[in-house]
């Protein structure tokens, strides 16, 4: 991939990794750009082509199906990718002449598909260029869901779900949130520096930063130097983490000397935040089902100067011998559908399928049940997800309380309003941060 000669060629190879091999867009792109000799401008174009094409995939396919006289889905995967990348430039990149987009895509087809495909690419993209202004998304009232899906680049099934749950204006607002550039947020490593001091030092370095209103340890960044520069100078004093994810440690609020269990810990963002709350005293058992992800926990703890974390390979759906009724505080940040954080991963809106959503609640309930067995009398159990789905959130909470009479719901303070709540659903279009859910329990018997 490093041998790609121009930004479009490199973008095509990255898109292949995403579409055909299920790679994460940010990881695949960063890997491709690392060590590649492209200029700064070419790197920017490559990045725009990858993220833009992936984000608008469904809408690009809608346009292409109107100018192709054969089933688009049955075309060779790489040919589809070339057409999508060309369509993205024609429809959304005004600074690039349509003729240039067509010619470059034809060259890619010649090299990466076959000579016969060149005529097809030329014909389809030129037809799209000529007719793009004439195509209108469906305007009938009964087509409102499809119109939103095409306008905001989301799968129709997901827009339909949000419309049913929240209403059409809210569904539109959620889609708009997903398309906005996500804020970069930092969590201050309070073991070594205060938020006030780090804010002052970052501002003195020319960074535009402000304190988070959601977490006392958070900083919201409006303008920064490169992440590489930031981490090189301030790496030990911060962890890159969105505001929603900081809420777990604030709500669970472990104390110095506690025994804390984190059942789904990797890569360690919430685990290390818990350690900060504990002033690096006591013990945290940080578990994950994948051995290679435990390394991420250990690396993050080491970078942040944290010594009270023990990484443990463990399947959270199984009993944890030796910890029954012992833990002061337990965190289950459960595997979930992730529908509250689609703005963080360009490809996620297209890789998730409605039929797979039902797999999460049974898994979440199993992990919660095993975690509950480890909580001591008077101890706390926090359940969280990064989704908006009631089946994974409030209904899991209700089912847990019904099946575990030894627990009761424990109220906590809303991080912004200060009101006492027993569960908290963060809605991105209303709250301005990623979708998240928290429910706190206390063991009373």
**Are 9 and 81 contacting, i.e. CB atoms less than 8 angstroms apart?**
no
Q: Does domain 184-240 have CATH number 3.40.50.620?
A: no
The pLDDT value recorded for residue 46 is: 95
pLDDT single digits (tens) 18-34: 999 999 999 899 899 88
The pLDDT value recorded for residue 36 is: 80
Active site residue 386: yes
State the helix-helix crossing angle for 7-21 and 40-55, rounded to 10 degrees: 30
The pLDDT value recorded for residue 3 is: 67
Can you tell me whether residue 287 is helix, strand or coil? strand
Percentage, residues of the chain above pLDDT 70 = 99
Taking the domain 7-132, which CATH number applies?
1.10.940.10
Stretch 60-82: mean pLDDT, rounded? 94
Mean pLDDT of the chain: 95
The pLDDT value recorded for residue 392 is: 98
Stretch 405-424: mean pLDDT, rounded? 97
pLDDT single digits (tens) 91-146: 999 999 999 999 999 999 999 999 999 999 999 999 999 999 999 999 898 899 99
**7-132 and 243-443 have identical folds:** no
CA distance 1 to 37: 11
State the CATH class of domain 243-443. Answer: alpha beta
CA distance 138 to 135: 9
Beta carbons within 10 angstroms of residue 169's beta carbon: 10
pLDDT single digits (tens) 340-368: 999 988 899 999 999 999 999 999 999 99
Beta strands in 324-410 (DSSP E): 327-333, 375-385, 407-409
The pLDDT value recorded for residue 41 is: 92
CA distance 196 to 200: 6
Checking if the pLDDT of 403 tops 70, the result is yes
Among 185, 264, 374, 386, the one annotated catalytic: 386
What is the domain partition of the chain in residue ranges? 7-132, 141-179, 184-240, 243-443
State the helix-helix crossing angle for 156-166 and 144-152, rounded to 10 degrees: 120
Checking if the pLDDT of 150 tops 60, the result is yes
pTM as predicted: 0.93
């Amino acid at each position: 991939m490093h041998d790609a000669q121009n930004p479009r060629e490199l973008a095509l190879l990255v898109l292949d990794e995403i579409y055909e091999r299920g790679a994460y867009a940010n990881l695949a792109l960063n890997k491709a750009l690392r060590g590649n000799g492209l200029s700064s401008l070419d790197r920017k174009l490559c990045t725009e082509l990858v993220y833009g094409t992936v984000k608008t995939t469904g809408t690009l396919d809608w346009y292409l199906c109107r100018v192709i006289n054969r089933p688009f889905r049955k075309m060779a995967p790489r040919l589809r990718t070339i057409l999508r990348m060309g369509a993205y430039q024609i429809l959304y990149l005004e600074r690039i002449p349509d003729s240039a987009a067509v010619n470059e895509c034809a060259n890619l087809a010649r090299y990466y598909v076959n000579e016969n495909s060149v005529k097809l690419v030329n014909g389809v993209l030129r037809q799209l260029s000529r007719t793009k202004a004439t195509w209108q998304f469906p305007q009938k009232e009964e087509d409102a869901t499809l119109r939103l899906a095409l306008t905001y680049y989301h799968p129709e099934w997901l827009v339909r779900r949000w419309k049913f749950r929240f209403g059409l204006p809210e569904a539109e607002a959620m889609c708009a949130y997903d398309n906005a550039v996500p804020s970069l947020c930092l969590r201050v490593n309070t073991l070594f520096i205060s938020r006030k001091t780090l804010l002052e030092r970052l501002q003195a370095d020319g960074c535009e930063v402000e304190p988070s209103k959601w977490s006392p340890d958070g900083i919201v960044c409006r303008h920064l130097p490169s992440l590489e520069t930031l981490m090189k100078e301030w790496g030990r004093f911060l962890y890159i983490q969105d505001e929603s994810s900081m809420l777990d440690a604030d709500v669970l609020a472990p104390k110095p000397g506690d025994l804390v269990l984190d059942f789904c810990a990797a890569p360690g963002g919430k685990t290390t935040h818990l350690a900060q709350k504990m002033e690096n005293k006591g013990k945290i058992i940080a578990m994950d089902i994948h051995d290679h992800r435990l390394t991420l926990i250990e690396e993050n703890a080491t970078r942040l100067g944290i010594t009270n974390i023990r990484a443990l390979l463990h399947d959270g759906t199984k009993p944890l011998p030796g910890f029954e009724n012992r833990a002061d505080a337990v965190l289950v940040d459960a595997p979930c559908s992730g529908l509250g954080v689609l703005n963080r991963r360009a490809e996620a809106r297209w890789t998730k399928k409605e039929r797979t959503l039902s797999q999460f609640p049974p898994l979440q309930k199993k992990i919660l049940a095993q975690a509950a067995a480890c909580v001591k009398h008077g101890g706390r159990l926090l359940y969280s997800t990064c989704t908006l789905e009631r089946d994974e959130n409030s209904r899991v909470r209700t089912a847990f309380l019904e099946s575990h009479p030894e627990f009761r719901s424990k109220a906590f303070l809303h991080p912004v309003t200060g009101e006492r709540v027993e569960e908290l659903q963060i809605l991105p279009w209303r709250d301005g941060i990623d979708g998240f859910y928290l429910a706190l329990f206390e063991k009373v018997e």
